[in-house]
Amino acid sequence: METAWIQIFILTFAECVAPAGKTVCQEQQFELQFVNRTDCEYALQQLISMKDEAEHVIVNRRKSGCTSSAVESDAFVSLEAINEAFKDTVGWRVPNEGDTRRSVVNKDHRERLAELMSCEETSNVAPCKVGDIIVEDATGDSVEVWKKD
């Protein structure tokens, strides 16, 4: 095993969110990493679409986007070498099976999407969907939504 640099795409998302009952929003940013540009741009498009629907969020499009970068990562000589190195790791999947796993994930995601109503139909009560994004209630707590005048 050696170390190598691999190309990644960093999705930076900047938004200004108004806390419940406030008229001034607080800017926040987060980043996600993707292996290819297409996935990054698709996720950005879906996030912007979802956030634009929220009445208490303003997306800063100038600071949001996909940028090419690189990360240092372990490099293996062969598929057998990586499988040997991680065979005892919980949750490890053989890389050749990645396409199959991804299609299973996509199938499960599509089935779940088909079962859900849109967030517009449920008045943003989770679980619901915005485009291809599934919105889940992470905390279980009710959230007061700030409204624009």
CB atoms within 10 A of CB 119: 21
Q: The domain containing residue 77 runs over which residues?
A: 2-111
Is 123 contained in some domain? no
Tell me which of 54-58, 68-72, 128-132, 145-149 is least confident.
Answer: 145-149
Is 125 contained in some domain? no
Is 19 contained in some domain? yes
Residue 19 scores a pLDDT above 60: yes
Is 34 contained in some domain? yes
Query: Whole-model pTM above 0.75?
Result: no
- Number of domains within the chain: 1
Question: Rounded to an integer, what distance in angstroms lies between the CA atom of residue 32 and that of residue 40?
Answer: 8
Is 23 contained in some domain? yes
Is 141 contained in some domain? no
Average pLDDT over residues 103-118: 77
